[in-house]
């Protein structure tokens, strides 16, 4: 999480460029002046029994983020949105976060769709103290997601007795939300395109030891993400001891969103792929019951170091982009799809292919660890296929 020191004598654009961005975990309450640190915020709750000792906005945000310490992927997303708002409030609006009202949040929402050039300066790095906070204007769906996360932040701080009210509670839900579920389900690879990706992986260079390491990691990582329907944070933290056998069948214990545990059936083919990956690193084909080596090892192949979710994402994204270039001439439509694809597409692809194979929707729900079967139902495309065939007459050909 990041925040910035204020530069009150300069323009808003100059402030953004010159103010250093500091990790919020290392910030002291003196980093921001009293007028901006939230101690006297106009939306601070007064005369209530407080559930937190936090007395500044930074401390309050730290408390909120600590609730997600066991969910790395969620933590990163929430931290990103909180830093953007804190930075915008103090450096653009010249207000404490705890002084923001509904009008301010409307202005922030508009700002995300049309950020100033300084916020998206290509010369600034994507990471680190002087990084840029946006890669470009946010899409409507990304803005909805950001404001939803921030509404959760404000609501939490109201319940904690830190804020008097949630300025986003008044926000009207846009009609586009109704279509977001449909948009999500389209993010998967057709069977033929998935096979194309697997075929491309086999073309990766394997001349040097480093190239062989990369090839074996990519080969295993893609099969694991797909075969176990995992989220990027789940595959990053998966370890050998999470594998277990019941009645001679292999299962993978998964800790998902909110620390919820579930188990996923693992095929014999995936176990064979795991054995190949481990043997490449000189390990036994199958791990012992107490072995805690990562299921996907670090870039250097260390058995005591896990890949980060970001590293997993970047590896997968790179392969998709290279595969897209590889098939550009022969399959331009498929290449366009692969350029948009990311790690989560493999989870959607797995679920869709399970549904296409006629798997019971209740089993797919358990494999994906969905709380509601309605969420799982979006992967059922077979009925759409039949309706299309009957309507167009193609079923009679």
> Which positions are catalytic?
231, 257, 344, 347, 370, 379
Tell me how far apart the alpha carbons of residues 50 and 163 are, in angstroms, rounded to a whole number.
Answer: 10
Alpha carbon separation from 223 to 71, 96, 343 (Å, rounded)? 23, 47, 12
Q: Which of 233, 156, 135, 190 is nearest to 338 (CA)?
A: 190
Given a contact cutoff of 8 angstroms between Cβ atoms, the answer to whether 233 and 72 are in contact is: yes
Alpha carbon separation from 201 to 173, 176, 216, 235, 326 (Å, rounded)? 43, 37, 9, 19, 11
Q: DSSP code of 341?
A: -
Strand partners, 22: 3
In three-state secondary structure terms, 337 is helix
In three-state secondary structure terms, 70 is coil
Measured in whole angstroms, how far is the alpha carbon of residue 49 from the centre of its chain?
35
Rg of the chain in Å (alpha carbons): 24
Alpha carbon separation from 11 to 6, 103, 206, 234, 267 (Å, rounded)? 11, 21, 54, 44, 60
Ranges of H-type helices in the chain: 12-18, 57-66, 72-91, 102-113, 140-159, 180-185, 191-201, 209-227, 232-237, 268-280, 309-326, 332-340, 343-356, 361-368, 373-376, 382-392
Tell me how far apart the alpha carbons of residues 59 and 39 are, in angstroms, rounded to a whole number.
Answer: 10
Given a contact cutoff of 8 angstroms between Cβ atoms, the answer to whether 299 and 158 are in contact is: no
Two tokens at 262?
A: 């579930």
């Amino acid at each position: 999480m990041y925040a910035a020191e204020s530069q009150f004598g300069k323009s808003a654009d100059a402030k953004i460029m010159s103010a250093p961005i500091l990790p919020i975990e290392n910030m002291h309450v003196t980093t921001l002046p009293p007028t901006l640190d939230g101690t006297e915020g106009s939306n601070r709750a007064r005369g209530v029994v407080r559930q937190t000792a936090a007395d500044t906005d930074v401390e309050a945000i730290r408390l909120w983020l600590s609730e997600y310490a066991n969910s790395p992927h969620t933590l990163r997303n929430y931290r990103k949105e909180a830093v953007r708002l804190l930075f915008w409030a103090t450096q653009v609006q010249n207000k404490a976060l705890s002084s923001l009202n509904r009008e301010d949040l409307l202005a922030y929402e508009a700002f995300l769709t049309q950020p100033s050039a300084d916020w998206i300066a290509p010369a600034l790095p994507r990471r680190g103290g002087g990084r840029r906070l946006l890669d470009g204007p946010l899409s409507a769906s990304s803005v909805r997601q950001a404001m939803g996360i921030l509404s959760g932040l404000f609501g939490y701080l109201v319940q904690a007795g830190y804020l008097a009210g949630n300025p986003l509670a008044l926000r009207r839900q846009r009609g586009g939300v109704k279509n977001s579920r449909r948009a999500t389900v389209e993010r998967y690879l057709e069977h033929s395109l998935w096979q194309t990706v697997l075929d491309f992986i086999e073309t990766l260079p394997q001349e040097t030891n480093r190239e062989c390491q990369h090839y074996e990691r990519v080969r295993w990582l893609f099969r694991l993400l797909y075969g176990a329907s995992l989220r990027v944070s789940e595959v990053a933290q998966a370890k050998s001891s999470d594998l277990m056998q019941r009645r001679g069948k292999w299962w993978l214990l998964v800790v998902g969103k909110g620390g919820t545990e579930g188990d996923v059936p693992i095929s014999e083919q995936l176990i064979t792929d795991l054995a190949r990956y481990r043997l490449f690193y000189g390990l036994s084909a199958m791990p012992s019951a107490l072995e805690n080596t990562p299921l996907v090892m670090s870039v250097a192949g260390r058995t005591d170091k896990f890949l980060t979710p970001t590293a997993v994402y970047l590896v997968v994204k790179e392969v998709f982009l290279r595969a897209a270039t590889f098939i550009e001439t022969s399959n331009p439509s498929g290449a366009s799809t692969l350029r948009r694809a990311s790690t989560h597409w493999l989870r959607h692809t797995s679920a869709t292919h399970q549904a296409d194979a006629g798997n019971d929707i209740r089993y797919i729900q358990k494999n994906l660890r969905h709380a509601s079967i309605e969420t799982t139902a979006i992967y059922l495309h077979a009925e759409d296929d039949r309706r299309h065939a009957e309507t167009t007459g193609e079923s009679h050909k």
